[in-house]
Amino acid sequence: MNAEHKTKSLAAKAAWPLLVLTAALQVYVGLSSVAYVFMGVANPASGLGGWTTAAMGGLQSLAAVAAFVLAARRDLRGTTLAVAGSIVLGWLSTLPSVVEQGLDFHGDDRVTPVYFVVSPLFAIAAATLAWRNVYPIAAALFVSAMTFVGILIVAAFAIIIAMYGF
């Protein structure tokens, strides 16, 4: 094992798997947005909004696939920028339904509006850090933060269900 691998921090080791997982989830979400139009599933927005969602979903998937290519080349900065772009495109795909139906910040589901606001802010902040190449590992972890939080929530839910049942 060479000296470079011995000196890598835990954050540097965690950045790549989280980026790849985030890119994989972005491909899945993007392709499912494209499928809405063709599968007869109730569109998140009607008319032009449904097609806008599909177009943004396709672009989101392309950006996430570009992240895979850049990850295979071990380009941390490029991968972070591609994942951030994919997240912002995914956020843009939700705008037609938000314009049509509104966003309820005082309803029962308090997580969705927070996710709607925080996710693009994290992506833009991570893209800025990656673009400037100041803290590339922090940028990679920052762009993957919402995915990591989602993983923790699913793990906590699974543990609670395993302990107490439904």
For the segment 2-20, what is each residue's pLDDT rounded down to a tens digit? Answer: 444 555 788 888 888 888 9
For residue 148, the model assigns a pLDDT of 86
- Phi, psi (rounded to 5 degrees) for 133: 60, 35
pTM (predicted TM-score): 0.81
pLDDT greater at residue 47 or residue 149: 149
Contact, 118 vs 105, CB < 8 A? no
Structure tokens of 33? 């947005």
Cβ-based neighbours of 45, under 8 Å, separated by 6 or more: 52, 53, 96, 97, 99, 100
* Cα of 89 vs its chain's centroid, Å: 10
Residues 61-71 pLDDT 10s: 899 999 999 98
Residue carrying the six token digits 């314009």: 99
Classify the phi-psi angles of 75: left when phi > 0, otherwise alpha if psi is within -120 to 50, otherwise beta: beta
pLDDT tens per residue, range 100-151:
777 766 666 667 777 788 889 999 999 999 999 888 899 999 999 888 888 8
